[in-house]
Structure 1
Amino acid sequence: MHFSEMKEKIFKARVSYTGKDFFGWQVQPGKRTVQGVLTEALSRLFKGKVRVMAAGRTDTGVHALSQVIGIKGETSLEPSSLKKAINSILPEDIRVLEIEMVDKKFHPIKSRGKIYAYFIYTGEVISPFLSSYFYHIKGDLDYETLSSSAEILKGIHDFSAFRNRGSNVKSTKRNIFISEWLRSGDFWVYVIGADGFLKQMVRVIVGTMLDLSRGKIDISYFENLLRGEKRERAGKTAPPHALFLLRVFYEEDPVKWWEEEKPKFLQFIEILNDFFS
């Protein structure tokens, strides 16, 4: 690689990773993070400092099927060569799926929305092949109650009660445009899409919905939580290992994408239920 051929470029990349062995996205001293691993690998392919930014931070243990990142720095590599080179360096729990060159106006944080999915297994014994990616809850859940609570979340609400400490935001209001539960036997998935998310918001929502399903709270109590209540009035934060960032959206319509992909998603959990039951 000849540094004389290098010039500053900005890339948009789609990245997939399992969160089990990462302390979240953001660089932290002495800890293995997604941003840290990517930056270290890319530094071998870029001249000088390379900046790596994400559409959003995933917490410790949370996975991403399709995270979007921005890469800025000097390199002679074109997208196809950079993709091949970076994947040859990265560890097995993270991969760059797609990469393209973009103009200076691009910033990954300026998305129109994201979709997350939370996976639950309610059978008596969970397979060791599933335990790293599913929250195991013994006993059935109330599908009708969960579906009703999911519908209530749609629209613009104040999610103060569903935000854990550690984030400074101007507003706690968010617009939810997808919110539904899918089920096949003992396999449950909660899918939520919004214009943005507060810290650990999806996991607090899931934990509170599970309280609702178990009869610990009623539907009117749940509804009142969307009026700017305090965090302690909502349920516990569900574990991180069952949460996946499915996709980040820019020009593409997230609701249209989900309607097209939902049949495949249903088929996927049906296959899991058939195979592991």
Structure 2
Amino acid sequence: KQLIMTRSGKKIFEVMNEDIQFVYEYETIEKAIQSVKDYDKNSIPVLNSKKQILGIVTADDVFDEIVENTEDDYQKMALIGDHDSSLSAVGRASQRLPWLMIAVVLNLVIATILSLFDATLVQVTALILFQPTILGMAGNIGTQSLAVTILGLHLEEIDSKKTARKHIFKEMTVGFINSLFLATAAFAFVTLFLILVPTGNQGAVSIALVVFTAVFSSMFIAGSMGVLVPLIFNHYHVNPAAASGPIMTTINDLVTLIIYFGVATLVFL
């Protein structure tokens, strides 16, 4: 456009733009996406090692790639494989079934481990009342840490050992603060609840202390796993989005329940 509007008497060097952003053919598509975003360009040239133009990458190309990456990551997070809308119901079911079967096996492992705490559950039935709360809180903080870490990796904010250590320290500090605050709130809530609605022969404060310990420990561990697992996956060139989904949730549940009923067993038996 500028060339067309330029008067015929001007020289090429007077109207040319020397500040040209480009990418090499051997660089990653992520580099091209980042260049288009950072410099707000509608297109950037692609060069070979001799700096000869091979083609261009347009903003539309970048948008299509972002959409494709987002869809791919979401499928990995949900563990549904390569989604195809043309598949029949049977085809979709067979695609998702293996992952769900793995989750079933892990839940059977959880049930087996819980059976080891049968005596504790019989003696302290009030523990069952607060199990969903503890599982939910641990799952939520784990999901938050996981999402922040995956986002940081995709935005290339975590691109070196230094930035990774900084991210780990910051997120684990956040996890510690939130875990301590919510565990304290849970202690107060459980104490008040059991005073108003007595359940069993155990003291309200004793059960509340067990809940406090379980909430703090499980939330801090789940938050730490949400940070570390995607970074480990990324280090070994595995898509970090695969760290989420039903299996990760089930593992968090397993760890949380072992902590909860393990602490209760030590206190009451």
Class of the TM-score when normalised by the shorter of the 2 chains: under 0.3
More strand by share: 1
Answer 1 or 2: which has greater helix percent: 2
**TM-score normalised per structure 1:** 0.21
Between Structure 1 and Structure 2, whose CA radius of gyration is higher? 2
State TM-score, norm by structure 2. 0.22
